[in-house]
Amino acid sequence: MSEIINGKELAKSIRLKLKEEVNELKNANIRPKLAVIMVGNDKASKVYVKNKSKACEEIGIEYEEYLLPENTKMTELLELIEKLNNDVTIHGILVQSPLPEGLDANEAFRKISPKKDVDGFHPVNVGKLSLNQDCFVSCTPYGIIKMLETYNIPIEGAYAVIIGRSNIVGKPLAKCLLNKNATVTVCHSRTKNLKNITKQADILISAIGKPKFVTKEMVKEGATVIDVGINRMNDGKLIGDVDFENIKEKVSYITPVPGGVGPMTIAMLMHNVVKASKQH
């Protein structure tokens, strides 16, 4: 019998707990505040930014949005980040990616003070995660670990296979799982015999961005399947990387899209903002 991991509900309970923590912080005269910078008009980014502002509002985190035009220069973006770094009322800074062509997202991430880097993309936080030291963990991997832990899915000793090696999902997730004593394989577009690898996974995570890429033949009976992919179809429907309907009976646990990893990513961002304001 398989269980569907309810990321939406879990994220809601995390937000509720954070709301209480924010109230306590406010009683101590600390008002957590997140600054979000968005450059250009990327449609998907607009939705993500809106969801982040909604979550802040619900929890009581103050929110400032900087919408910069498509033709913003790198120097202008860096100057704004510097200004926000120096603003003591701001605890978290986030640069929404992707940035328009010509702007270097990595340079922007590097400019954010590691203490305000609530996305966990700054090299200092990336390095600390590698060393298994306290840091801001990027939100999607962090949310996945929280889901596994909440559902008591054993990580230690498990064989975890990740499809996708991006800096925001695949790579940091591999480190998180390794830090929790899983045995980890990271696959990518040049991986040979992908199916032979994924079929052995106790925990299979797909983060590639290809609708229904992971088929029933690719998963082991009783495995846990985590679907990070968000693919918007022509009819406007969102679907994941995993062929959910055909796989769900074969596995022990599976996340849906929407309602799985997505809400957890935002909840963990909120967690990181609260953490930043406590450390401030």
Residues with a catalytic annotation lie at 52, 96, 119
Please identify which residue in 96, 138, 140, 272 interacts with ligand NDP, judged by CB under 6 A: 140
Find the part of the chain contacting ligand NDP (CB under 6 A) among 23-31, 33-41, 59-67, 208-216.
208-216
Q: Per CB under 6 A, does 43 bind ligand NDP?
A: no
What distances in angstroms separate CA 214 from CA 5, 170, 200, one per listed residue? 17, 16, 14
How far apart are the C-alpha atoms of 149 and 160, rounded to whole Å?
Answer: 14
Sheet architecture: strand order including 224-227 = 3-4, 253-254, 224-227, 203-206, 159-163, 183-187
Cβ-based nearer residue to ligand NDP, 40 or 262: 262
CA angle 240, 243, 246 (to 5 degrees): 145
CA distance 258 to 115: 31
Decide if residue 265 touches ligand NDP (CB under 6 A).
Answer: yes
Chosen residue from 229, 239, 254, 271 binding ligand NDP by CB under 6 A: 229
- Give the shortest CB-20-to-ligand NDP separation in angstroms: 24
Closest approach of ligand NDP to the CB of residue 130, in Å: 18
Distance CA 146, CA 144 (A): 5
User: Is there binding between residue 230 and ligand NDP (CB under 6 A)?
Assistant: yes
197 binds ligand NDP per the rule CB under 6 A: no
Of residues 25 and 138, the one with the C-beta less far from ligand NDP: 138
From 29-37, 71-79, 86-94, 168-176, span contacting ligand NDP (CB under 6 A): 168-176
Contact criterion met (CB below 8 Å) for 122 and 112? yes
Our CA dihedral for 234, 240, 245, 247, rounded to 10 degrees, sits at 150
Residue ranges in contact with ligand NDP by CB under 6 A? 140, 163-166, 168-170, 187-191, 194, 207-210, 228-231, 261-262, 265
